Amino acid sequence: MDTALKTAPATTTQEIRTITGSQALCEAMIQEGVKTIFGYPGGAIMPIYDALYGYEDKLEHILVRHEQGGIHAAQGYARTSGRTGVVFATSGPGATNLVTGLADAMIDSTPLVCITGQVFAHLLGTDAFQETDVINITTPVTKWNYQITDATEIPEILAKAFYIAGSGRPGPVLIDITKNAQLQAFEYKGYKPCHHIRSYRPKPVVRKSYVEEAARLINEAERPFVIFGQGVILGGAEQEFKAFIEKAGIPAAWTILGLSALSTDHPLNVGMLGMHGNYGPNVLTNECDVLIAIGMRFDDRVTGRLDKYAKQAKVIHLDIDPAEIDKNIKATVPVWGDCKETLPMLTALVQQKAYPKWLDKFRECTKREDEAVFQGELHPTTPILSMGEVIDTLNHITDGNAIIVTDVGQHQMVACRYAKFNQSRSNVTSGGLGTMGFALPAAIGAKFGAPDREVVAVIGDGGFQMTLQELGTIMQSGVKVKIIILNNNFLGMVRQWQELFHDRRYSSVDIQSPDFVALAAAYGISGQSVSDRPLLKPALEAMINHDGSYLLEVMVGKENNVFPMVPQGCGVAEIRLK
């Protein structure tokens, strides 16, 4: 009788109870408020999956078709929900399949906790079956990683993992757990969330003098210009941001990850920055006198050539990450801190102002862009559909209320340029890493993260074929994701560069596709393909109104280009309209 009691798993009667490392992991998940886990089982993580079986009512596990799909789904989940995404994978190939997603989450500051199984501790370094040095492989692409070889470490390390992933500038954390630690029973003393690590400062102390200096510069400015990134969304500072630009009356342009932090029809929203951004924000970057960068990192796709970027302007840089200040662009005034804290301080000090003449300049630019680009993209005169009109038609149906998940390439640039957004956390895309194959799994996660919202994945024919196995995840989980494939039968962005910069030498960009609609049907997903303009709107409506997942293939112009464009090696003012 006594022995039976002692060996029974998870005896709950006492305060201190004996549980296994795997159970402690599940307890940690519950304590951290995790509800959905994306993962794939395998040999070295089987004890954890065994424990998960007993927590089925509390922890939902979504079985993906590939670990890369799992981590992208967790990224999508994190981006729409604002919570930390969780991924489980086994050792060896399971773990290495996470690397692309880790790199993506690292560069796009997405909070993730990834759990990988590992061979028994006594086998480490012996080239055991499915053993790989996950910690060292993932070090450059994780905010933090740690290998657990003893179950007693699990509660504390998991608490640290969630704290690190979600605080400060968020990022991916990987915890590698050897199989013996998963199996090991130990005296569980409960779970204590982590709020402080002595070697880790999630956010710098806000220096009031710098905020004051920034306010002084802004108040003296004649042509101030705000550029904002995902920091506004990650800080949950959308309201504070809006209050700031409205009081200061400053036009604001976004980076691709900042998109949706400010509704697209806001009168001060002047559009997109960067290589395929809008004409005005690029050209006028080199005409403003004070450039106020908020939660963005001056990526090379935003700045173009650095020595031709905003040389005339004084730069105020608000960022939570001290290492971003002066990394690419020298800040005249660095305002370190969480913009949720710094923006209200700044708003209090700036004068209520408006810059009608300066705003007119943006409007003039928009007019030029409208004539040169928008008209042709949104209202083409040729019978062949354009990517832009698909997005534009979708806007009319969703009214800007949908979450748009994009992959990488021409369709991504077009979707980000033309999609309407009314609320934050609505744009999910692979920005920094540019991961083709991101959108389909990310859309699955996005829907789990925001189940009440419409999720539309916009994907190219190339990118879709990189992770199309996740149709199986959609089929099995029943998640309702709408998929638009913009099919131009080319790897369009590479082809565009070959056309413009490589004498139309179309090297390996002519990509064949399967019958996407039949493929979806094989997974029990409804769909259709359209290529005629009159059928586009009804097809999009059918897709949105369909109760369930839906795949809509739209055949678009084969050799359409995305313009405007700041060619590589050029300054932002050298943006080409055609």
Partner 1 sequence: MKQEYTITVYTENQVGLLNRIAIMFSRRKINIESLNTSPSEVEGIHRFTIVINETEDVVRKLVRQIEKQVDVLKAYYNTNDEIIWQELALYKVPTDEIAEKVKVERLLREHGARAVVIRKDYTIFETSGHREETDKLISVLEPVGLIEFVRSARVAIIKESRGFHEKLKEFEETEPHPSTRENEYLDQGENVFVM
Q: Which residues are known to be catalytic? A: 67, 129-130, 179, 493
Please provide the size of the chain in residues: 578
Per CB under 8 A, contacts with partner 1 among 413-432 are none
Under the binding rule (CB under 8 A), the answer on residue 197 touching partner 1 is yes
- β-pairing, 85-89 vs 455-460, is unpaired
Among 321, 454, 499, 574, binds partner 1 (CB under 8 A): 321
Give the whole-angstrom CA distance, residue 305 versus residue 327: 14
Q: Between residues 202 and 557, which has the closer beta carbon with respect to partner 1?
A: 202
Residue selected from 191, 200, 374, 497 as contacting partner 1 according to rule CB under 8 A: 200
Which member of 15, 195, 452, 508 binds partner 1 (CB under 8 A)? 195
Residue 286 one-letter amino acid: N
- Positions in 162-181 near partner 1 (CB under 8 A): 164
- Specify which residues 555 forms β-bridges with: 487
Catalogue the E-assigned strands of 493-535: 526-530
**CA 176, CA 42: separation in Å to the nearest integer?**
14
Among 143, 340, 425, 447, the residue binding partner 1 under the rule CB under 8 A is: 143
How many binding residues for partner 1 (CB under 8 A)?
34
- Region near partner 1 per CB under 8 A, out of 66-74, 320-328, 423-431, 515-523: 320-328
Neighbouring CB atoms inside 10 A of 50's CB total: 15
Angle at 379 between CA 376 and CA 385, to 5 degrees: 90
Q: Is 346 helix (H, G, I), strand (E, B) or coil?
A: helix
Q: Does 196 bind partner 1 (CB under 8 A)?
A: yes
Q: Which of residues 325-344 bind partner 1 (CB under 8 A)?
A: 326-327, 330, 332-334, 336
Interface with partner 1 in residues 202-221 (CB under 8 A) = 204-205, 207, 209-210, 213
Q: What residues from 445 to 474 belong to the interface with partner 1 (CB under 8 A)? A: none
| Binds partner 1 by CB under 8 A, chosen from 201, 353, 396, 504 | 201
What sign has the CA pseudo-torsion 101, 105, 108, 110? positive
- Please tell me what DSSP assigns to residue 491: -
Instruction: Indicate whether 193 belongs to the interface with partner 1 (CB under 8 A).
Output: no
> In 10 A of CB 573, how many CB atoms?
17
Angle separating helix axes 21-31 and 154-166, nearest 10 degrees? 30
Phi, psi of 82 (to 5 degrees): 80, 0
Among the residue ranges 63-71, 140-148, 178-186, 459-467, the one whose residues contact partner 1 (CB under 8 A): 140-148
| Residue 16 binds partner 1 (CB under 8 A) | no
Using CB atoms within 10 Å of the CB of residue 570, give its burial: 0 to 12 exposed, 13 to 18 middle, 19+ buried.
middle
Residues 186, 183: Cα–Cα separation, whole Å: 10
Interactions with partner 1, residue window 54-113 (CB under 8 A)? none
Question: Is 533:392 a contact under the CB 8 Å cutoff?
Answer: no
Nearer to partner 1, 139 or 375 (CB): 139
Work out the angle at residue 199's Cα, subtended by the Cα atoms of residues 195 and 205, and round it to the nearest 5 degrees: 75
Smallest separation, CB 144 to partner 1 (Å): 4
Burial group, residue 189, by CB count within 10 angstroms (0-12, 13-18, 19+): exposed
140 sits near partner 1 (criterion: CB under 8 A): yes
Q: Which stretch binds partner 1 (CB under 8 A): 121-129, 190-198, 252-260, 344-352?
A: 190-198
Q: How far is the CB of 199 from partner 1 (least distance, A)?
A: 5
Q: How far is the CB of 315 from partner 1 (least distance, A)?
A: 10
- Residues of this chain that interact with partner 1 (CB under 8 A) are 135-136, 139-140, 143-147, 164, 195-201, 204-205, 207, 209-210, 213, 314, 321-323, 326-327, 330, 332-334, 336
